[in-house]
Structure 1
Amino acid sequence: MEKEQAAKLLDKAALICVSKHSGQRDKVGEAYFQHPMRVAMRCATAEQKMVALLHDVIEDCGVTAEDLLAEGFPQEVVDGILSVTKRPGESYEEFVERAKQNPLGRVVKLHDLEDNLNALRLDHFDADMAARYNKYLAARRSLQF
């Protein structure tokens, strides 16, 4: 992908991320869009960053793969987003294994888990968070290269 096209699509991905997650809060009360932004900052390539910025919009915001293709995102990027979108009825382990099969999805899911595991930003660490933390650690081990 050309640098100029990548820059335009990154801008578009950031705008979609912020607008679609507008008003959403994470488990500690922060604006949710900050999570995909942090994940994107960990990524190396423009395509990884696009997937990171948009990794929750299909699952959480009613956006479709067709919407993203219509916005001009390449099939490779949309496939990466789909690989990190949990399907109804899919176990978490199946989901992680599927993400692992896509080169973009694997990198983005790994960075997503790293951000989710950042316990330094958590005010409290209850039993539910401990269980989630252990689930994310196991998934991260599975995804590592």
Structure 2
Amino acid sequence: MADLDEALVLVATHFRGVRDKAGLPYVLHCLRVMMSVDSLDAKMVAVMHDLVEDTAVTMDDLRQRGFSETVLTALELVTHRDADSYQDYVVRIKDDAIACEVKLADLCDNTSPSRMLLREGREDRDTARIQKYLLSYNFLSDQIDQPTYRRRMTAIANA
């Protein structure tokens, strides 16, 4: 059975040399999200939350390495596929406790003042992304209901 050590090695290997928008090693984001959740299963999902979405690693690769179905199910949910709208992706996460915990930690890290950028010439796009993340956090933490979430997300997309 694959464990947290295996997840850490995969993330360190596949994100080696990758930088975030601020120019910092991307793996630091994965580690911060991991440190913000509680259980070992959630930590594995958290550290790998962008692995399938942003690298050549597939769910089948992880299954063959021996990650549990609990981890794989939550990881599949937090992996945003191009075919899914962001709204549908976030709504899908809500019913899985581990996926929801990980996505909330991811959103917190993504909206941290130390990571938010308003890039010159891209202020509108960056502001819309921040609004999208904050609304998603509000929805996943039960501060707003699904119809309100969808309506407000649509308004942001159409602005």
TM-score > 0.5 by shorter chain: yes
Cα distance in 2 for partners of 1:22, 1:28 equals: 16
Residue correspondences, number: 139
Unpaired stretches in structure 1, ≥5 consecutive residues: none
Give aligned-pair identity as a percent.
Answer: 36
Aligned partners of 2:118 and 2:127 also within 8 Å: no
Match of 1:109 in 2: 103
Q: Distance in 2 between matches of 1:70 and 1:54?
A: 15
Following TM superposition, by how much is the alpha carbon of 1:120 offset from its aligned partner in structure 2, in angstroms?
A: 2.6
Deviations 1:121-145 (A, max 9, x none): 4464633221111100000001115
Matched, 1:30 2:24: yes
Question: 1:131 is matched with which residue?
Answer: 128
Of 57, 61, 69, the residue aligned with 1:67 is: 61
| SS in structure 2 at match of 1:95 | helix
Structure 2 residue runs of 5 or longer lacking an equivalent are: 143-159
The runs of 4+ residues in structure 1 deviating greater than 6 Å are none
Q: Say if 2:84 is the partner of 1:87.
A: no
Higher Rg: 2
The TM-score, its normalising length taken from structure 1, stands at 0.89
Work out the CA distance in 1 between the residues paired with 2:66 and 2:115: 35
Cα RMSD, aligned residues only: 1.5
